[in-house]
Structure formats: C-alpha cells, structure tokens
Amino acid sequence: MATTLGDRLAELRLRRSLTQEQLAEKAGLSVDTIRKLEQNQRMTARMSTLNKLAWALDVETSVLLGAPKVLEPRNETEPPSLLALRQAVTPLSGFPGVGDPEDAPAPTIAQLRDSIRRTERIRRQGELRKITALLPTLLTDARAAVREYTGEDRAAAFAVLAETYQVTATTLTAFGKEDAAYTALERSMAAAEQSDDPHLEVIGVSTLSWIFSKQGRITDAENVAVRMAERIEPGFRSDPIELSLWGILLLRGASAAVRAERSDTAEDLLSLAAAAATRVGTDRLDYATPFGPTNAAVATVNAYVDMGKPDKALSHAKRISDVGGIPPTWRARHHLDVALAYAEMNRDFEATRALLAAERTAPEWMRYHSTSRHLVAELRERERRRSSPITALAVRLEIDV
C-alpha cells in the first residue's frame, strides 16, 4: 500500500501508463519535481503543485494526500464513524417506500441551539473524532424538529439543521470525503433558505469555496467566494458580523487565487481583508470561523508559504505578536506554515520547533492533518541522529519512517 505522497504519485502515474516526463508535461511541472517526490526526497509540495498533479492524473487532490491517520479505513472499508456520518447525510428514510421514516422525538429549539454551540468548542480544539460521533445524532434531532414544529420554531430548527449540515460538510472535507461533503452542503443551503438566519448562506458559500479548493476546482473556489463577497460588500455603517463574513469570503478567495498562481489577485484580496479586519478591530468568531486582525495576518503568512516565498512568510509571521485570539486549530495551522517556511530554507531546527508548537496547540489535529505528517516525515528523513525531537514527534504521530 502506498504510504507517502511520492508512493501514491508513482502508483497513480503508473496506473495511467505515464512516464515521469509525460506527467511533467501534462501537469506543467518540471521532471525534477516529480522525480524528487517519487523518490521521497521531498515529502511535501505546494498546493498549486498538488492541484496540477491531481488534474493531470484525473483524481482529487485528497487522493494524493492520502487518508487521515486517525480514521484510516481497514479492509478497504470506511471507519464506522465516517460511515455513520455518510448515512446521516443521506438516510434511507429519504427514499419513500424503501426505508422506515425517522421517528426520533424532537428536542426543543433551546436544546438544539445548545447542541450546535457545544460542537463549536470541539471543532476549535480540532477533536475530529468527537465531532464525527456527535453529528449524526444532531442531524437526526434537527430533522425531527423541522418535521414537528411550525412557524418561527420551524424556521429556527431549519437554521440549526443548516448549520449542522455545514459543519458536517467541513468535517467530511477534512477527511477527504469531498463527494459526501458536497451533498451535505447542498442540503445545508436548502435548509438555510427556510431558516431565520440570513448569514447562513454566506458561511455556506465560504465552505463551498473550501470544498472546491480541496477538489482541485480552484477557479470555481475563487469565483464563488469573490462573487458572494461582491454581493454582500458592507457599507460604512455595517455591523461587525457583516464585515467579518465579508472578510472570511475574501480570505477564501485569496487562498484559491494563490493556488491558481494568481498572486496579484491574491494580494489584492488579502489587502481588502486586512482593511476589513482593521475596521472590525478585534478577533471575532462567527459560526466557528475566526476573523479579525490576527486571522488576516496569519492568512497572509499562509499565502506567502503557498506562493513559495518563505522569506516573506517569515517576515510577516514575526510581525504577529500574539496568535492567542484565534482558535487552536488556526493557531496550529499557523505554526505549521512557519515550519514549512523554515523547512523550505533548510532551517530544520526552527521548523521542528514550530511543529512542536503546533502539536502542543492541537495534538489531534496534527495526527490527521496530511501536510503536517508529510513535513514531519521529510524532516525525519533529513535528521541524522537516532534520537532527536523530530524523531520523537514522528513516533508520537505514528509516522512510518
């Protein structure tokens, strides 16, 4: 079984009966890049590179990255928790005459709202196994409320259902299940139309942009985020939440533009987001998504890492005095970006230090995040000592080296 990015790349290339030279030409990359990846001289690659390879091999980018370690399938079947989540998104009860209708008792609206708020803490901590276990029940409860209630209560139930589907979509995407995630998001948007929360459509489009990016549909990812941002562009007297949601969309669009190698567009969007963050003034958390001065700054660091400009990334990172205002998973991602920048400059000691900071911040997130695992494996291969911090980290993450 292919265990590294390079192994999977070689396996997929051979399945397509392509030489390294042919794949390089088709993807618009150098043969040297493909050779180094396949020989595991490099365990990581920029997202724009991965997207090009995935397009050339006719697979989704997540296939190249591999299954998350914590929920790897066994005997070529999905883990029970992911299978249950898929079934919750597309229950048999949705097909009349085939399955029994759902008959779960409906909780109160207050109970539903409390349940969805409780998931936010788990999401912020990056505890994906817990959230995967909770979501099927929450979806069932929200659907029961929609069936039972009328009027304002029904609209409120639809809001919880829409948000739960949206959380489900992000969770499935994190585990490389973009097909099921897209279905969940379609249902989220349908529920949002019947809800009492006008902001749910916006956050849904932000999630859609992320799913498209994971699928390698980079142009679509940029377009949906930018179009929605243009549609809801706030005015001088807009509320902070409207500025925040606008900024979140701008950051999504910038991320996609970077991966499309449209750096000028990306920098323009980042500049607009930074201006919005300045107007917001503080770090906010809306629908479990942060926005404010800190998140705009760490997004800029991420962009320069993806652009292949580690020196600029580190320069911007040093200007961030404190990342405590954003959730643990966002902080861990920032530490990973710093580690990637240092590794690109062959400053392995600093890269390891940043990875250890990411592990301390969100340990489970580190275990399932593919880029983290690839970078740890690469640094471990470059480490000559038998006993070292990076070796110990690889052992904790159960990385085969």
pLDDT digits (tens, 9 = 90+) for 168-187: 998 888 887 888 899 999 99
- Mean of the pLDDT values across residues 343-356? 96
Per-residue pLDDT tens digits for 225-278: 999 999 999 987 889 999 999 999 999 999 999 999 899 999 999 999 999 999
Residue with tokens 């639809």: 158
Report the C-alpha dihedral over residues 348, 352, 353, 358, rounded to 10 degrees: 140
Per-residue pLDDT tens digits for 128-138: 778 887 888 88
If phi > 0 it is left, if psi is from -120 to 50 it is alpha, else beta; for residue 185 that is alpha
- Mean of the pLDDT values across residues 73-93? 70
- Mean of the pLDDT values across residues 87-94? 80
Q: Do domains 1-71 and 215-324 have the same CATH topology?
A: no
List the beta bridge partners of residue 290.
Answer: 285
What pLDDT shows up at residue 80?
A: 61
What are the residue boundaries of the structural domains of the chain, listed by start? 1-71, 79-197, 215-324, 327-401
Strand segments, DSSP code E, in 186-308 are 284-286, 289-291
Tell me the residue type at 164.
T
For the domain 1-71, what is the CATH superfamily, name and number? lambda repressor-like DNA-binding domains (1.10.260.40)
Domain 215-324 CATH assignment equals 1.10.3470: no
